[in-house]
Amino acid sequence: MDNLKQAIEQQRRRLEGLLHDPLKRIAERLPAAWPDREALDAVLQPAIQEIPECRFLYALNTAGIQLSDNISRTTLMPEYFGRDRSQRPYMNEVVPADGFLLSDAYISLHAKRPSLTALQLVRDEQGNALGFLGADFDLRSLPHTASLYEESTEWRQIKGDPSIRGTVFQQSRSESLMDRDMDAVIPVLDELFTERGVFQAVVHFSSSRATVWTLDDPYRYRILTHESLSDPDTCLAFPHRDYPENARIPAPAIREILENLRTLRFADETVYLRSSSINIFNGMVSLTFSCDGSHYMTWSEFLDRSADFWLGSAG
């Protein structure tokens, strides 16, 4: 399981722990009111205050038909009474044996925002299923108790536009302005990375530009045209910064990476490098070829493989 999926599952488990007991307690109060609309509303109105993050509470029968109004924190919404929720995503998931289900996230019908629903089975004194207590949550209102996940460093290949891949052998590389001045462009990019605080760059070889992010202003990018990239004076516009100690790419490797990108740009006239990104903190390099295929790998994996390997994988 990749890091993103692990982070999602960990957060879901934390949310289940927060919501399970309050919903179970509320559901235990409902059988006495079932299936009377006004009686159910009377139980649910104060109960929603026990779940601060909840947007709506409601009761459903086993067929997914709503028996109560929608209960918000401030009002009743009678227009939802009788609503058929049987086709909503959360009604088509398998409810676990304990009767509690936290649905997968979905896009809400009205607010059009990422949401999820918790369902708690409601049983009578004999243990027969009466229906469900439903609780809707807007993802932005839920507590996030986990730290941001760590991006995977596993090598990945992602295929691009099939129409581009299908016509790749009918095209050939056109020399760009950057291609002509690569002897100047590479030293400038190396200087920006190792001495001028640039930590990420996307180099567009075909359109002769680079988008760069700096340590001094990491939330905004700068676009450097071919004229800027081929002019060493451009480095003067960026303050000197020591190379970060926590960078995963060692400073001496930057020049070697850039030289290998040059090799891939010129290695084949049909399958050639269109763009590449370097991030010194991720330690990752990405490659996008003329066939629209993209690769993501660590800087060391990139340097360990020959041009023939990358062109074969891209094609």
Task: State residue 309's pLDDT score.
Answer: 73
pTM over 0.75: no
120-139 pLDDT, tens digit each: 999 998 889 999 999 998 88
Helices (H) and strands (E) in the chain, counts: 9, 14
Residues 6+ apart with CB under 8 A from 311: 264, 267, 268, 271, 289
Q: What is the token pair recorded at 45?
A: 């109105």
Question: Within 10 Å of residue 263's Cβ, how many Cβ atoms?
Answer: 13
Please answer whether residues 311 and 268 qualify as being in contact, where contact means their C-beta atoms are separated by less than 8 angstroms: yes
Taking residues 140-164, report their average pLDDT: 60
Q: Which residue's structure tokens are 């086709």?
A: 87
Higher-pLDDT residue of 249, 159:
249
Task: State residue 163's pLDDT score.
Answer: 44
Please answer whether residues 275 and 292 qualify as being in contact, where contact means their C-beta atoms are separated by less than 8 angstroms: no
All domains of the chain, ordered by start, with CATH?
3-141 (3.30.450.20), 156-314 (no CATH)
52-81 pLDDT, tens digit each: 889 999 999 999 999 999 999 899 999 999
Question: Within 10 Å of residue 214's Cβ, how many Cβ atoms?
Answer: 19
7-56 pLDDT, tens digit each: 778 888 888 888 899 999 999 999 999 999 999 999 999 999 999 889 99
Q: What is the token pair recorded at 179?
A: 């291609």
